[in-house]
């Protein structure tokens, strides 16, 4: 399968911080949405910054459309739409002026499409961006990212801080975008409910390391949480335990194969698991 | 590059339009006043040239309030082009300042007569204004890329301006020492040219330096 984005053991350390990205690897296929999940400070933005070349990686390879992107590779950037969390554009501009600037930056800039999105998102084109609410600025950033016909959308916490109605509206736009087979989205978020709705793949990052990458269906239908007693936990095979958390009288065990576990541990209750729960288990839980 | 230039234009325009309005009113005032004592005209020429240049530079600082500086790096433009667009922007702002100064100096002289001792005095004033502006840019841009903190940038602008004034004063002193107290017209013109060439050379050298610093910068 071809991949629009591939990270191979990407590492990045900072002189003034203990934080580092440690051999981050994952692959995003064409025509798919990948949710990039992790708690605040886990390394989501650093990874995205490495992908987009706004920071320099120390080691590893990042392939975009099969090529390593350098500063001079403008053609590759034509095909990437980016949305950052917060204010993407200067407040002294209005959307009409922004469109004028973007038209000079991107060869494929489509002013008509941009205006359509402004209309759809109910964004006034002549109003200064600094007067926009947070939700409006995020919608504007999404409109700008889509209006140059990118093939890959990279969104860093694009839905955080938005109300559920706005998030729903934006997720719909992402689903429309992905209808084209060549289009893909990398969506970093800690709002896992959004990812459960639209993502095909989920990649978990914790303390700069990828701790799990799997398809959403695999997580939804194959993963499970075993609720067991201490004695039952002690008898479990190591291979059945992805992570575990001890509570007062119970131990929660995350397993990658709930069906197998059902057959194997007949007296253990096994629940379906949400992405949120998987994240908490992976981050807070212990490994055998 | 076109998009970057437009971006710089909008950034500079948002701050320079107020400055331009004040300079037009001040220009009308300078033109209306008798220029027997030319200090008002001298002050106007220098302030309008340096002021527009400072506006062009200061516009960059406004980008820091958003993620725009980082966002631009994801667009199909190289870091070299981003730096280049700032240098061109300063030159354009300088040109606007020169045009403003030229128009109101011409009007003042046309209405009230020539207020200076020699024709070359006007040339010198323009040369000083242009040189200070170029030195200011040449010093500010590397500091801007090296530092990059919003509060520091205001300080950088002040440091650049005062350093540029100091350098130009230093060049003027050297020229005076070189040519002596009674300079000929040719020597004055040569002095003005030396000043502009020096500042232009430093401005030109500042560009690759900025590209090198910006190339290593992470956002």
CB contact under 8 A, A77 and B75: yes
Last residue of a domain, one of A199, A215, A231: A215
Interface test with chain A among B16, B64, B67, by most A beta carbons within 10 Å: B67
Closest by alpha carbon to A224, among A266, A264, A277? A277
The three-state secondary structure class of A229 is coil
| A42/A132 same-domain check | yes
Judgement on whether residues A181 and A161 belong to the same structural domain of the protein: yes
End residue of a domain, out of A200, A215, A230: A215
pLDDT of res. B151: 60
Give the model confidence (pLDDT) of A118-175 as tens digits: 999 999 999 999 999 888 999 999 999 999 999 999 999 888 778 888 888 889 999 9
Task: Look up residue B13 and give its two tokens.
Answer: 């325009």
Q: Are residues A258 and A145 in the same domain?
A: no
Query: Is A99 found in the same domain as A124?
Result: yes
Nearest-Cα distance to chain B for A279, in Å, is 28
Please state the rounded mean pLDDT for residues A57-64: 94
Answer whether A89 sits within 8 Å of B71, measured CB to CB.
Answer: yes
**Same domain flag for A132 and A261:** no
Q: What is the mean pLDDT of chain A?
A: 91
Contact A230, A219 (CB under 8 A): no
Nearest residue on chain A to B60, judged by CA atoms? A90
Question: Which of A54, A62, A70, A77 would you mutate first to test chain B, the one with the most B CBs within 10 A?
Answer: A54
Cβ-based contacts of B4 with chain A (< 8 Å): 104-105
If we measure between CA atoms, which residue out of A207, A205, A220, A213 comes closest to residue A258? A220
Instruction: Report the C-alpha gap between A269 and B15 in whole angstroms.
Output: 66
Nearest residue on chain A to B75, alpha-carbon basis: A77
- In the 8-state DSSP scheme, what is residue A188? E
Interchain proximity B218–A53, CB inside 8 Å: no
Are A198 and A227 found together in one domain?
no
Same domain flag for A239 and A200: no
Cβ contact A89–B68 (<8 Å): yes
Structural domain boundaries enclosing A205: 3-215
* Exposure class string for A192-216: b at 16+ Cβ within 10 A, else e: bebbbbbbbbbbbbbbbebbbbbeb
Q: Which residues contact A84 (CB under 8 A, 6 or more apart)?
A: A141, A156, A157, A158, B67, B70, B71
Residues A205 and A237 in one domain: no
CATH number at residue A21: 3.40.50.300
Q: Is A36 exposed, middle or buried (0-12, 13-18, 19+ CB in 10 A)?
A: buried
Q: Are residues A39 and A182 in the same domain?
A: yes
> Which of A215, A239, A267 corresponds to the end of one domain?
A215
Domain limits, chain B: 2-216
Say whether both A65 and A127 belong to one domain: yes
Tokens of B201: 């050379």
Q: Check residues A100 and B184 and name the one with the higher pLDDT.
A: A100
Give how many domains chain A has, as a whole number. 2
Quick: pLDDT tens for B55-74: 888 777 777 767 888 999 99
Question: Using CA atoms, how far apart are residues B28 and B95, in angstroms rounded to an integer?
Answer: 20
| For range B22-28, the mean pLDDT | 94
By percentage, how much of chain A surpasses pLDDT 90?
61
- Residues A276, A175, single domain; the answer is no
pLDDT digits (tens, 9 = 90+) for A187-234: 998 888 888 889 999 999 999 999 989 999 898 889 999 999 888 888
Q: In what order do the strands lie in the sheet with A33-37?
A: A80-83, A152-156, A184-189, A33-37, A201-206, A209-215
d(CA A143, CA A95): 10
Is B76 close to A82, i.e. CB distance below 8 A?
A: no
State the nearest Cα–Cα gap between A95 and chain B, in angstroms: 12
Cα separation of A75 and A65, whole Å?
Answer: 11
Tokens at residue A126, please?
Answer: 């002549």
- How large is the average pLDDT for residues A24-43? 92
Q: Residues in chain A whose beta carbon is closer than 8 A to a beta carbon of chain B?
A: 49, 52-56, 71-72, 74-75, 77-78, 80, 82, 84, 86-93, 97, 100-107
Same domain, A242 and A123: no
Cβ–Cβ below 8 Å for A78 and B4: no
- Answer whether A77 sits within 8 Å of B74, measured CB to CB: yes
Residue of A nearest to B76 (CA): A74
Please judge whether A92 and B78 are an interchain contact, meaning their C-beta atoms are less than 8 angstroms apart. Answer: no
Per-residue pLDDT, averaged over B138-164, amounts to 83
Round to whole Å and give the CA distance between A270 and B113.
Answer: 97
């Amino acid at each position: 399968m071809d991949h629009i984005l591939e990270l191979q053991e990407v590492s990045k350390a900072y002189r003034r911080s203990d934080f580092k990205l440690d051999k981050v690897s994952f692959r995003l296929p064409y025509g798919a949405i990948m949710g990039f999940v992790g708690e605040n400070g886990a390394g989501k933005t650093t990874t995205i910054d490495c992908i987009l070349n706004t920071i320099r990686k120390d080691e590893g390879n990042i392939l975009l459309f099969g090529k390593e992107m350098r500063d001079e590779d403008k053609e590759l950037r034509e095909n990437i739409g980016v949305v950052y969390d917060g204010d993407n554009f200067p407040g002294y501009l209005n959307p009409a002026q922004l469109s004028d600037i973007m038209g000079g930056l991107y060869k494929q800039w489509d002013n008509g499409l941009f205006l359509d999105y402004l209309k759809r998102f109910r964004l006034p084109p002549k109003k200064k961006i600094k007067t926009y609410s947070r939700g409006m600025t995020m919608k504007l950033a999404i409109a700008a990212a889509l209006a140059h016909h990118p093939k890959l959308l990279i969104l860093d916490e694009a839905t955080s801080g938005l109300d559920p109605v706005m998030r729903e509206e934006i997720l719909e736009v992402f689903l429309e975008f992905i209808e084209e087979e060549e289009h893909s989205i990398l969506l970093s978020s800690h709002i896992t409910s959004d990812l459960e709705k639209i993502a095909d793949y989920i990649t978990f990052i914790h303390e700069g390391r990828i701790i799990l990458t799997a398809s959403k269906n695999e997580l939804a239908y194959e993963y499970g949480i075993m609720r067991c007693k201490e004695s039952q936990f002690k008898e479990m095979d190591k291979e059945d335990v992805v992570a575990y958390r001890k509570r007062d009288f119970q131990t929660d065990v995350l397993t990658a194969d709930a069906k197998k576990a059902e057959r194997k541990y007949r007296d253990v209750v096994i629940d379906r698991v949400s992405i949120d729960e998987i994240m908490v288990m992976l981050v807070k839980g212990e490994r055998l | 590059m076109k998009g970057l230039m437009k971006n710089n234009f909008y950034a500079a325009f948002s701050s320079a339009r107020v400055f331009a309005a004040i300079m037009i009113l001040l220009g009308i005032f300078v033109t209306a006043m008798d220029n027997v004592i030319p200090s008002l005209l001298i002050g106007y020429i220098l302030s309008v040239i340096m002021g527009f240049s400072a506006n062009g530079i200061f516009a960059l600082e406004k980008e820091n309030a958003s993620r725009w500086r980082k966002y631009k790096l994801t667009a199909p433009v190289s870091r070299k082009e981003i730096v280049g667009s700032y240098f061109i922007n300063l030159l354009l702002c300088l040109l606007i300042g020169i045009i403003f100064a030229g128009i109101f100096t011409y009007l003042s002289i046309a209405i009230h007569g020539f207020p200076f001792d020699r024709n070359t005095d006007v040339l010198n004033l323009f040369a000083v204004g242009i040189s200070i502006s170029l030195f200011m840019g040449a010093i500010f841009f590397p500091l801007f890329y090296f530092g990059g903190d919003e509060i520091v940038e205001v300080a950088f602008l002040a440091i650049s301006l005062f350093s540029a004034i100091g350098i130009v004063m230093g060049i003027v002193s050297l020229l005076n020492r070189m040519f002596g107290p009674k300079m000929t017209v040719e020597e004055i013109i040569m002095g003005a040219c030396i000043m502009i060439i020096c500042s232009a050379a430093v401005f030109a050298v500042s560009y690759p330096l900025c590209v090198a610093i910006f190339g290593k910068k992470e956002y």
